[in-house]
Amino acid sequence: MSADIDAVAGQFVDYYYRSFDADRNSLAALYRDSSMLTFEGAQVLGTAAIVEKLVSLPFQKVQHKVTTKDAQPSSPSVASLLVSVTGLLVVDDSPNPLQFSQTFHLIPDGGSYYVFNDIFRLNYA
Amino acid sequence: MSADIDAVAGQFVDYYYRSFDADRNSLAALYRDSSMLTFEGAQVLGTAAIVEKLVSLPFQKVQHKVTTKDAQPSSPSVASLLVSVTGLLVVDDSPNPLQFSQTFHLIPDGGSYYVFNDIFRLNYA
């Protein structure tokens, strides 16, 4: 709930979606073998499987537009943080963007952070 | 990513929204003085302030309808878990439900769990 937390979360969110939209393979650097992704209910474990899942998503071109991002420290003892994002997903230049929500749990690791938890959902009206 | 995690998350989510919709004051039992709530961007710390915030929300009657719930263990060492929910909020019998997304971080505590992190957002199209 500090400016630091918000700054870290903001930098992460910007970097994550810029990387996602430019080259999903580059997201490998943000995960570890213990990382978990739940994507539309499908559970995937570990960097290789997570990147394979993200790369296999059936669109050629994608753009995330972040509407809200909220961050909180997730532990009283470690500098880990929880980041919750809502936004719009523009897929293959569709005129009808999809609403999404995504939660990341970031763990500090050698001056940077990796994604331990990642939960993604499209929100249908 | 186990049946246990899903069962705990399911029970928590059912209990939380049933309590919210019946009597918001009863949610006090689920928070601690270290708990954080970010509600539509407003940050609140501790049980008393969180319950005051929830009770003061300007509606008389509310019903949460859960669309999706996803859970993951949030730590390799502690039985804490992350629960992400999307759903619809029916306020004062409005015919136009609001979409919401909410993330809870649950920490084990004497055979039960409390909410350490709580992030709530309405999702506008």
- Per-residue pLDDT tens over the stretch A82-102: 999 999 999 998 999 999 999
- Partners of A105 on chain B (C-beta within 8 Å) are 74, 82
The shortest C-alpha distance from B24 to chain A (Å) reads: 23
Determine, for residues A119 and B74 on separate chains, whether the beta-carbon distance falls below 8 Å: no
Determine the average pLDDT of the residues in A20-30.
97
Q: Which of B14, B53, B11, B10 is nearest to B31 (CA)?
A: B53
Strands (E), chain B: 31-39, 42-45, 62-73, 81-91, 98-109, 112-123
Q: What is the DSSP string of B78-110?
A: S--EEEEEEEEEEETT-SSPEEEEEEEEEEEET
User: Cα(A24)–Cα(A51) distance, rounded to whole angstroms?
Assistant: 7
Residue B59's contacts (CB-CB under 8 Å, 6 or more residues apart) are B91, B92
Q: What is the ipTM of this complex?
A: 0.94
Query: Which CATH number do you get for residue A47?
Result: 3.10.450.50
Q: What is the DSSP secondary structure assignment for residue A12, as one 8-state letter?
A: H
Q: What is the pLDDT of residues A52-85, one digit of tens each?
A: 999 999 998 999 999 999 999 999 888 999 999 9
Domain tally, chain A: 1
Question: Exposure string (b/e) for B63-101, b if CB count within 10 Å is 16 or more?
Answer: ebebebbbbbbbbeeeebbbbbbbbbbbeeeeeeeebbb
Range(s) of the domain holding residue B18 = 3-123
Write the residue in A38, A82, A117 that is nearest to B119 by C-beta: A82
Determine, for residues A123 and B123 on separate chains, whether the beta-carbon distance falls below 8 Å: yes
Determine, for residues B72 and A38 on separate chains, whether the beta-carbon distance falls below 8 Å: yes
Determine, for residues A121 and B105 on separate chains, whether the beta-carbon distance falls below 8 Å: no
User: Cα(A59)–Cα(A92) distance, rounded to whole angstroms?
Assistant: 6
- Partners of B36 on chain A (C-beta within 8 Å) are 1, 72-73
Q: What is the pLDDT of residues B3-55, one digit of tens each?
A: 699 999 999 999 999 999 999 999 999 999 999 999 999 999 999 999 999 99
User: Cα(A30)–Cα(A32) distance, rounded to whole angstroms?
Assistant: 7
